[in-house]
Amino acid sequence: MEFEPFTLEPGGAVLSGVRRQGAGIPLVLVHGFGGSRHDWQPLIAALPADRPLIAYDQRGFGESQGEPGTPFSHADDLLALLSALDMPQADLCGMSLGGASALNFALDHPERVRRLILVSPLMVGWSWTSDWIERWKTIGRAARAGDIAQARDLWWQHPLFDSLRETPAGCGMQASIEAYHGRQWVQDDQRPAFPDIDRLANLSMPTLLLTGERDTEDFRLIAQVIAAIGPQVTRIDHVDAGHMLNLEIPEKIAGEIERFLST
């Protein structure tokens, strides 16, 4: 089955993506910070060719755009996307920032999510460690000073990508970072929201949590909290992987995702 491009315009934004039609509940892939739907290509290649799929660029990333200064929610954009594509229910797979979007959406609209997959997820309203905050501030200072090249280099050298830099897939990630415009380091227009940690006990659908033992402290803590509080969470922790499981071990997690969706 071939992928068909689409463009939607919810709430002053332009969301771009691709869709592969097929029988059954579609799987919606939501990428991480600074990336795009193209980050899913290795995973898509390892999934069955007849599985219905949607991969899109979140607002402000890839080919999707938003009006600067307009408050928004990635979860609200996802709701608009599913509604515009006439999908009453979907399986969601979110990576890192996309994991926060997918989790937030699942808590807001549980009836719209059959199964949830979280890959090295972030969580809305997370209280970051001092180390993460200081590194983030350093990147932001470089970006606000107009040195986007320095900001990109600091991001690529972040411990988040330590294990990925050791693999051939690291070159693709570095190229993706070089293409990232960096606007969210200067100003992020996401609306403030209450912490989702306070709602995790209400997570009602079966959830697959995929993590890497070499991920950073914050993401390890987030995963521990989700696994401990989420009522129907199954966690698979990969010993030799870090944060970017979709690039480090795409074939392995594709098998885990397919088994989870098929049972």
All structural domains of the chain: 4-127+189-262 (3.40.50.1820)
Could you tell me the two tokens for 173? 């990630």
DSSP state of 190: B
* pLDDT, averaged across the chain: 96
pLDDT at 1 over 80: no
Q: How far apart are CA 15 and CA 65, in angstroms?
A: 7
The torsion angles phi and psi of 253, rounded to 5 degrees, stand at -75, -25
Dmax (CA) of the chain: 51
Q: How far apart are CA 222 and CA 121, in angstroms?
A: 7
Summarised one tens digit per residue, pLDDT across range 118-127 is 999 999 999 9
Strands 53-56 and 27-30 turn out to be: parallel
Q: How far apart are CA 142 and CA 212, in angstroms?
A: 29
pLDDT at 4 over 80: yes
DSSP 136-178: HHHHHHHHHTT-HHHHHHHHHTSGGGTTGGGSTTHHHHHHHHH
Q: How far apart are CA 97 and CA 150, in angstroms?
A: 22
Confidence of residue 226 (pLDDT cuts 50, 70, 90): very high
pLDDT confidence of residue 223: 98
pLDDT at 11 over 90: no
Order of strands, edge to edge, in the sheet holding 90-95? 4-8, 15-20, 53-56, 27-30, 90-95, 113-119, 207-212, 233-238
pLDDT confidence of residue 10: 85
Q: How far apart are CA 175 and CA 80, in angstroms?
A: 30
What percentage of the chain reaches a pLDDT higher than 90?
95
For residues 208, 237, 123 and 72, what is the CA-based torsion angle, rounded to 10 degrees? -60
Summarised one tens digit per residue, pLDDT across range 57-68 is 999 999 999 888
What percentage of the chain reaches a pLDDT higher than 70?
100
- The answer to whether 93 and 26 are in contact (CB under 8 A) is no
Residue 206: HSE in the Cβ half-sphere, 13 Å Cα cutoff: 11
What average pLDDT does the segment 222-242 reach? Answer: 97
What average pLDDT does the segment 200-211 reach? Answer: 98
- State whether the Cα torsion 110-58-17-251 is positive or negative: negative
The β-bridge partners of 90 are: 113
Confidence of residue 210 (pLDDT cuts 50, 70, 90): very high
- The answer to whether 61 and 179 are in contact (CB under 8 A) is no
Helix (H, G, I), strand (E, B) or coil at 84: helix
